[in-house]
Amino acid sequence: MVGHDSHSAKLSQLDFAIAGGSSGFITRMLCQPLDVLKIRFQLQVEPISKSNLSKYHSILHATNLIIKEEGVKALWKGHIPAQLLSVSYGIAQFWTFEVLSRQVSLLNLPSSVSPVVNFSCGSLAGCSATLVSFPFDVVRTRLVAQSETHKVYSGILEAFKSISKKEGFLMLYRGVWPTFLQIGPHAGVQFMCYKIFDSCYKYIVNSPNTTLTSSLVSGSLAGLCAKIVVYPFDLAKKRMQIQGFEQGRMVFGQLFKCKGLNDCLVKIYQMEGLNGLFKGLSPSLVKAVCTSALHFSSYEMICQVLEKTKN
C-alpha cells in the first residue's frame, strides 16, 4: 500500500493524510518512553558508563532513575508536543510520498529505477514533513530536557510563547539544517529499504499481498538501516536545540555549548571522541526498529481499512 499501486489508486489524498496522521499518533503513544531515554542520553556530555560523573549509565539504569526521581509520568514527558509532532509529521510525510509516487507512476519508468524513485520521493517527503513539524520538535526536546526541580516551562503553550518572545521565532527552527541533512537521507533510505524488504518478504513467502507481519518485518529492518546511516546528525540536532537553555539543564551534568552544525560535530568529537557521535545509539536503534515497524504497519492497515470502505 505504501507507494502507488492498484490498491492505493482507490484512495484519495485525504485518505493518505488520515492514515499518516493516525499511524503517527499510534506510534508516538507506544514509543514515547524510548524517545525520552534517547534524548536524555544524547544530551549527556559525560560518558554513558558506570562513572561517578555520569548521570545515566545504561538504558535500565536511566529508566529506573527517571522513575525514581521524576515519576513514571516522566517517561511520557513532552508527550503532547511529541504527539503534535508525530501527527503533523505523519500526515505530511505519507501524503507527500503518495502524491509524488502517484505522479512518478505516470512517467512509466522501468522497474529497475524503483529504488532510486522511492529514495527520492522519501527524501522529499521527509524534508516536507520536517518543515511542517519542526517547531513541535524543538518544544518537545526542551520539555524532555528540563529537570522537574528546575522547570523553565510549565507546558507546551508557555514553551512556545517563551521561546518566541525571549529567543525569537526563528529559535523554533534552530537545528533545522542538520535535521534536513539527517532526515533527507533517513527518510529516503527508510522508504527505499521498506519497499525492498517488503518485496523480498513477499517473494520468500510467495504472497502478493502486504500483511501485518510483512509490514512489521520490513518496517523494522528499514528503520534499523536508516537510523545507523544518519545518527550523528540527529545527535547534533538535539544538542543545538538546547542552546540557551542552561537553566533547565542544571542537574544533568556538564553543559554543552556550540555555534552551529560544524562546530557542534567538531566539539562532540573533541570532547567525547568518536563514540560521542553515536551516544544514545542503543535506545535510538530500539526506538527506530519499534517506531518504524509500527509506523509502516499501522499506516498499511489503516489504508486497507479505508480501501474496504470504498468497495
pLDDT tens digits, residue range 168-191?
888 888 878 878 878 899 999 999
* Cα(31)–Cα(210) distance, integer angstroms: 24
Closest Cα to residue 175, out of 206, 138, 227? 138
Q: How many CB atoms lie within 10 A of CB 201?
A: 19
Sorted by sequence, the CB contacts under 8 Å of residue 55 that are 6+ apart come out as: 40, 44, 46, 65, 252, 253
Among 119-123, 285-289, 300-304, the range scoring the smallest mean pLDDT is 285-289
Say how many CA atoms lie within 13 Å of 15 toward its Cβ.
20
38-58, pLDDT tens digit by residue? 888 877 877 777 776 778 888
The DSSP-derived string for 75-132 is GGTTHHHHHHHHHHHHHHHHHHHHHHHHHHHTT---GGGHHHHHHHHHHHHHHHHHHH
Residue type, 202: K
Residue of higher predicted confidence among 205 and 256: 205
Among 46-50, 240-244, 252-256, 303-307, the range scoring the smallest mean pLDDT is 252-256
Cβ(42)–Cβ(279) under 8 Å? yes
226-235, pLDDT tens digit by residue? 988 888 888 8
Among 38-52, 117-131, 158-172, 262-276, the range scoring the smallest mean pLDDT is 38-52
132-147, pLDDT tens digit by residue? 998 888 888 788 777 7
* Cα(227)–Cα(308) distance, integer angstroms: 34
Cβ(159)–Cβ(139) under 8 Å? yes
Q: What is the pLDDT, as a whole number, of residue 177?
A: 81
| pTM of model > 0.85 | no
Among 38-47, 180-189, 198-207, 286-295, the range scoring the smallest mean pLDDT is 38-47
Q: List the grid coordinates of 87.
A: 501527527
pLDDT higher than threshold 70 for residue 1: no
Q: What is the pLDDT, as a whole number, of residue 191?
A: 95
Q: What is the pLDDT, as a whole number, of residue 245?
A: 66
Q: Name the CA dihedral angle for 15, 16, 21, 22, rounded to a multiple of 10 degrees.
A: 60
Give, for 48, the enclosing helix (H) or strand (E): none
pLDDT higher than threshold 90 for residue 6: no
Q: What is the pLDDT, as a whole number, of residue 223?
A: 93
pLDDT higher than threshold 70 for residue 292: yes
CATH superfamily placement of domain 8-309: Mitochondrial carrier domain (1.50.40.10)
- Measured at the CA of 279, the angle between CA 234 and CA 78, to 5 degrees, comes to 60
pLDDT confidence band for 248 (50 / 70 / 90):
low
* Cα(143)–Cα(153) distance, integer angstroms: 7
Through-space distance between the first and last CA atoms of the chain, rounded to whole angstroms: 16
Residue of higher predicted confidence among 7 and 28: 28
Over residues 16-27, mean pLDDT: 93
pLDDT confidence band for 281 (50 / 70 / 90):
confident
Distance of CA 46 to the CA centre of its chain: 24
Q: What is the pLDDT, as a whole number, of residue 207?
A: 82
Domain boundaries along the sequence of the chain: 8-309
pLDDT higher than threshold 70 for residue 5: no
* Cα(125)–Cα(132) distance, integer angstroms: 11
Cβ(101)–Cβ(13) under 8 Å? no
Sorted by sequence, the CB contacts under 8 Å of residue 73 that are 6+ apart come out as: none
At 54 the three-state DSSP class reads: coil
Over residues 65-86, mean pLDDT: 86
User: What's the mean per-residue pLDDT of the chain?
Assistant: 85
- Measured at the CA of 17, the angle between CA 13 and CA 20, to 5 degrees, comes to 135
84-102, pLDDT tens digit by residue? 889 999 999 999 999 999 8
Closest Cα to residue 291, out of 210, 186, 209, 202? 186
